[in-house]
């Protein structure tokens, strides 16, 4: 499978998994959504905002276009779930669009960028995109765990890639 085809699959999976995660998050009472329960980003809100913030940062680095100007790693894209969900849908669409726009040779090009914590970097575009999708998967797993804690007895939705490949609806 070509890199572009893999990234198209990951972008589709990402959209599917985010939709399922946000559907489950919508069932959490507002106070619990913001409650600090000791997670790395404190709350479900903090964790979902972190994923969106990082996507916005990497999209700007990869495309040169800013979805929003991120001012720090603790940047809150939206302080309520409906607004964050709208941003998430936009970001997922932009990720699909970005991947669609690259050729196989574009993916092999190294690009320069700068991070907020480590300064300048240079990596192959394909490696950055792989990192972006892996970063989301990692933090969605944290959000999944938070849902288990916030809604005892209610199983969070499966986010397994193999489940998506078999049942993508």
pLDDT at 1 over 90: no
pLDDT digit string, tens, across residues 78-93: 999 999 999 999 999 9
116 forms bridges with which residues in the sheet? none
pLDDT digit string, tens, across residues 45-54: 999 999 999 9
121 forms bridges with which residues in the sheet? 113
| Sign, CA torsion 82/85/89/95 | positive
Tell me which DSSP letter residue 99 carries. H
pTM of the model: 0.95
**Rounded average pLDDT over 139-160:** 96
Those residues with Cβ within 8 angstroms of residue 36's Cβ, 6 or more apart along the chain or in another chain: 42, 43
At 134, which CATH number?
1.20.120.450
Burial of residue 89 (number of CB atoms within 10 Å: 0-12, 13-18, 19+): middle
For residue 10 the two structure tokens come to 């990951």
Provide the mean pLDDT of the chain: 96
Q: How many structural domains is the chain composed of?
A: 1
Measure the CA–CA gap between 155 and 158, rounded to whole angstroms: 9
Rg (CA), the chain: 16
Domain region containing 68 = 3-166
For residue 20 the two structure tokens come to 């399922």
Measure the CA–CA gap between 155 and 99, rounded to whole angstroms: 32
| CB of 23 closer than 8 Å to CB of 157 | yes
Write out the H or E segment, with its range, that includes residue 34.
helix 30-34
């Amino acid at each position: 499978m070509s890199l572009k085809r893999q990234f198209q699959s990951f972008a589709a999976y990402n959209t599917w998994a985010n939709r399922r995660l946000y559907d489950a998050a919508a069932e959490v009472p507002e106070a619990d959504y913001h409650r600090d329960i000791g997670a790395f980003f404190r709350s479900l809100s903090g964790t979902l905002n972190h994923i969106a913030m990082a996507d916005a940062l990497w999209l700007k680095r990869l495309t040169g276009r800013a979805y929003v100007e991120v001012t720090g790693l603790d940047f809150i894209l939206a302080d309520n779930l409906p607004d964050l969900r709208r941003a998430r849908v936009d970001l997922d669409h932009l990720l699909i669009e970005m991947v669609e726009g690259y050729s196989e040779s574009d993916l092999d090009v190294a690009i320069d960028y700068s991070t907020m914590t480590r300064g300048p970097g240079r990596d192959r575009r394909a490696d950055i995109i792989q990192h972006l999708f892996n970063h989301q998967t990692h933090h969605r797993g944290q959000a999944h765990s938070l849902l288990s804690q916030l809604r005892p007895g209610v199983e969070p939705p499966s986010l397994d890639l193999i489940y998506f490949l078999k049942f993508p609806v």
